C-alpha cells in the first residue's frame, strides 16, 4: 500500500486539473483494497482508476483510493473461446492490444478507449457498435462498507447505455478488483456496421476485415477526431447522447433539417449530443483555458491551466444553452466530484 499526504492530482486525471489530494492511497492488490476498507470504515473514499472520466472541481480532503491491481490471466479455454481474468488496474488499451496480438476477438472495436479495466463495466464503455457488456462474463468486487468479496454475474450488472448497477443503485458501494471476459479464438464476429467504420473499410478496400484490421481502423478514426489526453486535457465525451421519445423527435425534425439519430426502440431515439451542441454554436469555442474541441463538439478540453470549476462552469453553459434551444436536458457522462 502506498500513501501520500499532499500530492497534486494533475497526473492522475486526464483533464489535467491541478488539485491537491491530502489523503492519497494506492492499492496494488485485492488484499490491500480489503485492508484499506477495514482500516478506514465510513471514510467514503473516492475510487480512482485511470482518471479518464472524472472531473475534480476542488482540492480533495477525502481519502482517494487508486486501484492498481495488475495481471492478465487465462483461466479457462476451449477450442472456440478463452476466459480471461484481468486486474482492474490494467490499462484498457493494453488489454485490447494483448487480445489482438493473441488473436482473441471481441474487444477490437473498443481500441484506444482511455481508462482502466476496472472502470469499464461501471459505465459499460462502448464505441463503434460494441459495448463492454458484449464480452463481459463477471467481475470480482469488494464492498466499500465491510470489505467483503462479491462476484457480479453479467445479469446482475444491469448494463445499459453508458451505465450499470455500479452507476445507479450500487453507486459507491463496491470496488471492482478483477473483470473476466469471454473472447473468441476463431470465427470472430466482425462488427463493422457503425457507419464511419463501414466507410473506412470500403475506403481501404478491405474485403474480409480481421480483428486487427478493425482495431487499426478504429484507432485511425478515433485519432482523427478525438484529442489525445496526453497532448490536451480531456475526458472524451462530456455528456451522454440524450434519448428522447418519438413525439419529441418528430417536433425536432420539423424545426431542424437532417437531424442525425440512432433508433433505440419503437418509441425511443438517441440524438448525438455533439450535434445539439454544434447547433448551439459551441463547436471549437474557447472560454479562458477551457472550451470544446474544434473537431468534436462533445469533447470539452483543458488548454492547460483551467481549473475544475472553470471546466464545470463552461459545461453548464453548454447544458443550459441546449436546454433553452432544444428543451433537451443533457446528462453528464463524466463523473463530477463536487467536494
Q: Please tell me whether residue 180 binds ligand EPU under the rule CB under 6 A.
A: no
Q: Taken in order 163, 110, 54, 68, is the CA torsion positive or negative? A: positive
C-alpha cell at 140: 470480482
Contact letters for ligand EPU, residues 86-125 (x by CB under 6 A):
----------------------------------------
- With respect to ligand EPU, which residue has the nearer C-beta, 224 or 316? 224
Tell the smallest beta-carbon distance from residue 135 to ligand EPU (Å): 16
Instruction: Tally helices (H) and strands (E) across the chain.
Output: 7, 22
The site string for ligand EPU over 240-279 (x = CB under 6 A, - otherwise) reads xx------------------x-----------x-xx--x-
Q: Any contact of residue 296 with ligand EPU (CB under 6 A)?
A: yes
| Annotation marks residue 333 as catalytic | yes
The answer to whether residues 64 and 154 touch, using CB atoms and an 8 Å cutoff, is no
CA 39, CA 36: separation in Å to the nearest integer?
5
**DSSP for residue 269:** E
Query: Which of helix, strand or coil describes residue 244?
Result: strand
Is residue 8 among the annotated active site residues? no
Cell representation of residue 102: 493473441
Of the candidate residues 107, 127, 170, 280, the single one contacting ligand EPU (CB under 6 A): 127
Strand partners, 270: 243, 262
- Contact letters (x/-) for ligand EPU, 128-147, by CB under 6 A? x-------------------
Q: Give the bridge partners for 100, in sequence order.
A: none
Query: Which spans of this chain sit near ligand EPU (rule: CB under 6 A)?
Result: 127-128, 162, 196, 226, 236-237, 240-241, 260, 272, 274-275, 278, 283, 296-298, 333
Amino acid at each position: 500500500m502506498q500513501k501520500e499526504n499532499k500530492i497534486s492530482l494533475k497526473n492522475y486525471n486526464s483533464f489535467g486539473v491541478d488539485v491537491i489530494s491530502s489523503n492519497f492511497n494506492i492499492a496494488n492488490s485485492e488484499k490491500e483494497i480489503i485492508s484499506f476498507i477495514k482500516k478506514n470504515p465510513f471514510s467514503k473514499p473516492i475510487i480512482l482508476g485511470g482518471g479518464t472520466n472524472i472531473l475534480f472541481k476542488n482540492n480533495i480532503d477525502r481519502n482517494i483510493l487508486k486501484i492498481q491491481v495488475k495481471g492478465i490471466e487465462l483461466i479457462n479455454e476451449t477450442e472456440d473461446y478463452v476466459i480471461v481474468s484481468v486486474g482492474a488496474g490494467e490499462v484498457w488499451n493494453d488489454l485490447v492490444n494483448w487480445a489482438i496480438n493473441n488473436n482473441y476477438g471481441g474487444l477490437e472495436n473498443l481500441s484506444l478507449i482511455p481508462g482502466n479495466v476496472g472502470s469499464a463495466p461501471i459505465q459499460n464503455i462502448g464505441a463503434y457498435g460494441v459495448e463492454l457488456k458484449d464480452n463481459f462474463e463477471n467481475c470480482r468486487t469488494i464492498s466499500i462498507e465491510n470489505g467483503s468479496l462479491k462476484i457480479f454475474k453479467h445479469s446482475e450488472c444491469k448494463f445499459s447505455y453508458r451505465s450499470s448497477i455500479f452507476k445507479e443503485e450500487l453507486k459507491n458501494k463496491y470496488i471492482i478488483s478483477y473483470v473476466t471476459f469471454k473472447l473468441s479464438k476463431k470465427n470472430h464476429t466482425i462488427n463493422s456496421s457503425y457507419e464511419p467504420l463501414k466507410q473506412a473499410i470500403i475506403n481501404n478496400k478491405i474485403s474480409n476485415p480481421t480483428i486487427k484490421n478493425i482495431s487499426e481502423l478504429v484507432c485511425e478514426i478515433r485519432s482523427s477526431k478525438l484529442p489525445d489526453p496526453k497532448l490536451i486535457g480531456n475526458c472524451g465525451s462530456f455528456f451522454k447522447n440524450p434519448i428522447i421519445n418519438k413525439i419529441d423527435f418528430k417536433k425536432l425534425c420539423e424545426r431542424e433539417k437532417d437531424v442525425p439519430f440512432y433508433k433505440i426502440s419503437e418509441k425511443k431515439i438517441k440524438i448525438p449530443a455533439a450535434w445539439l451542441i454544434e447547433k448551439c454554436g459551441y463547436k471549437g469555442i474557447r472560454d479562458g483555458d477551457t472550451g470544446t474541441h474544434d473537431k468534436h463538439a462533445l469533447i470539452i478540453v483543458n488548454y492547460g491551466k483551467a481549473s475544475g470549476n472553470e471546466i464545470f462552469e463552461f459545461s453548464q453553459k453548454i447544458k443550459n444553452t441546449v436546454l433553452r434551444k432544444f428543451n433537451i436536458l443533457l446528462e453528464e457522462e463524466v463523473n463530477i466530484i463536487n467536494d
